[in-house]
Amino acid sequence: MNCSSATKRPLYERFVDPCFDEARHQAILVAGYVRRHGPWEPHRLPLEEMAYTTTPAVAKKLEGRWEAAE
């Protein structure tokens, strides 16, 4: 079986093909690497730049619920 045969099957069966084993393996390695970095928020601006958003008001409202990150 080759990778081109995967396009002739229904979508839910396309990635069952053994030719995707290496891609699955690499995805597992990358996911583990990202998880080891801990929580992060690349989509957010630094807190100083968010002064004109609702973030400070929400942070003040939830002040008693924060937990220290390890």
Contacts of 24 (CB under 8 A, 6+ apart): 15
Please tell me the predicted confidence (pLDDT) of residue 30: 95
pTM over 0.75: no
CA distances from 3 to 20, 27, 28 (A): 8, 18, 20
| Sequence-ordered list of residues with C-beta below 8 angstroms from that of 3, at least 6 positions apart, any chain | 17, 19, 20
The rounded distance, in Å, linking the Cα atoms of 33 and 38 is 10
Q: How confident is the model at residue 7 (pLDDT cuts 50, 70, 90)?
A: low
Average of per-residue pLDDT across 1-29: 76
